[in-house]
Amino acid sequence: LQWSSPPEAIEHFKSQEIWFAPPQFYELCRLCNFSSLHELHKFNSERALEGCERWMPVILTASDGYIQLLPGDELYPEDPDYTGEKKITLSTDKKVEDLMKEGSIFHRIVIKNINDLAVYVNIQAKYKHMNPVMINSNNSDYNSRL
C-alpha cells in the first residue's frame, strides 16, 4: 500500500500500475483542484451546509465504448432509473468521438476501455461544489467543443 496525491494516483492509473472505477477516477479529478489537505478542508468547511445531490450514472453504449452520463449532461434522461427496476438501456451505433463532436453540454465520463477514461464537464456544479479537472487517462482529446 502506497500513499499518492490525486495527480500521482492518476499518473499511476495512466501507466496501468493501478486501476480505479469511473466514479473514483471522477473524484480523483475533483481532488486535483486542491494542492493541499488544508485547501480541501477549507473548501469542505465552507460548503458543508450547501447540500448535496443524488446521482445515478446512466450508461450510453456507443459502437466503440461507453459514456457514463451524469446529471446536467444534455443526454442525461429526465427520469433516471434510480432503483434499477426500469432497466433503461441507452445505445447508439455512433462512435464516442462523434457523440463528443455533436454535443455541447457535458457532464460525463467517457470509457473507451477499462484503462482509458476521460472526464468532461462544462456545466456549473450545484451546491457550490467543485467540478473535476478534466483529465484524460490517455491521449484522446475531445476538448475542441468545450
Check if the beta carbon of residue 107 is closer than 8 Å to that of residue 76.
yes
Residue 54 lies in a domain: yes
pLDDT in tens, 34-79: 999 999 999 999 998 898 887 889 999 999 999 999 999 999 998 8
- 118's enclosing H/E stretch is strand 116-121
Check if the beta carbon of residue 31 is closer than 8 Å to that of residue 40.
yes
Which domain, by its residues, includes 18?
6-121
Q: What is the pLDDT of residue 96?
A: 94
pTM: 0.85
Question: How many domains in the chain?
Answer: 1
- CA atoms of 100 and 113, how far apart (whole Å): 16
pLDDT in tens, 1-30: 678 999 999 999 989 999 999 999 999 999
What mean pLDDT do residues 75-92 have?
Answer: 84
Check if the beta carbon of residue 9 is closer than 8 Å to that of residue 18.
yes
